Copies of this chain bind each other. A is one copy, B any other.
Amino acid sequence: MRLLLVEDEARLAASLVRGLRADGVVVEVAEDGPTGLRLARELDFDVIVLDLMLPHMSGFRVCQELRRANVWTPILVLTAKTGEFDEIESLDSGADDFLTKPFSYSVLLARLRVLLRRDVNERPVVLEADDLRLDPATKSCARAGVDIALSAREFSLLEYFLRNANRVLSKDEILDHVWDPDFDGSPNIVEVYVGYLRRKIDRPFSTNSIVTVPRSGYLFQCGA
């Protein structure tokens, strides 16, 4: 773990560095605001510990400047003041947490653990098949970079195809998964909607993703 400590009090800094290094943390120290800002922008840290009272430039400023420069490294602010005003202001200026001096080393460590625990949820569950993209989160669809407007039913159907690509799906199967369970119309509706889809995602691009398998159903093919 790489940590940047921005702290001008030599004694405190030295003792923190000793403790952190003993715990296997890679520590860099900056002794004033501008230096801290520069290091934070130029190097890649996992977390920043920032004192509020600094020579030349306050911790507030450093914090704000960093966020403004689009640096989102977690910041833990240290403050000797006890007023809640500072507290609120640090948090609102972009800090992730703060600690009031004096504090114990173990508390600092526990806080750092929390800050580092954020495993940012990877999300993009985008369905892709060749040049076709389907995003369930935004209900959007595009082929070869061209946006395609789909109705709700069309989207559900295409989503089902993509999730079962390269597999023959019978009309009844499709009916079960894409239409309401209590739908009692004829399977012809599937043919109708397959037709709609082909007109939107195949014909304009001269592709042939949705293949009819006579007497069996349909097949969405990709990755050929």
Instruction: Give the distance in Å from the alpha carbon of A151 to the alpha carbon of B214 in the complex.
Output: 8
Contact residue among B93, B137, B139 (Cβ-Cβ distance under 8 Å from A92): B137
Residue on B with the closest CB to A88? Answer: B110
In the complex, the answer to whether A92 meets B113 with C-beta atoms within 8 Å is yes
Instruction: Give the distance in Å from the alpha carbon of A95 to the alpha carbon of B121 in the complex.
Output: 15
| Contact A110 to B87, CB < 8 A, known contacts A122-B72, A152-B215 | yes
Residues of B within 8 A of A59 (CB): none
Which residues of A (46-80) have their CB < 8 Å from a CB of B? 67, 72, 74
User: How many copies, total?
Assistant: 2
Question: Scoring A residues 82 to 119 as 1 if CB is less than 8 Å from chain B, else 0, what string do you get?
Answer: 00100110011111110000001011001101100010
Is residue A221 contacting chain B, with contact meaning CB distance below 8 A? yes
Interface size class of chain A, counting residues whose CB lies under 8 Å from the partner chain: 35 or more
- Minimum Cβ distance to chain B for residue A180 (Å): 12
Residues of B within 8 A of A207 (CB): none
Is residue A26 contacting chain B, with contact meaning CB distance below 8 A? no
Instruction: Give the distance in Å from the alpha carbon of A23 to the alpha carbon of B74 in the complex.
Output: 27
A-B residue pairs, 4 tightest by C-beta:
A152-B215, A88-B110, A91-B110, A72-B122
Residues of A near any B CB (own CB < 8 A): 67, 72, 74, 84, 87-88, 91-97, 104, 106-107, 110-111, 113-114, 118, 120-122, 124-125, 137-139, 151-152, 166-168, 213-216, 219, 221
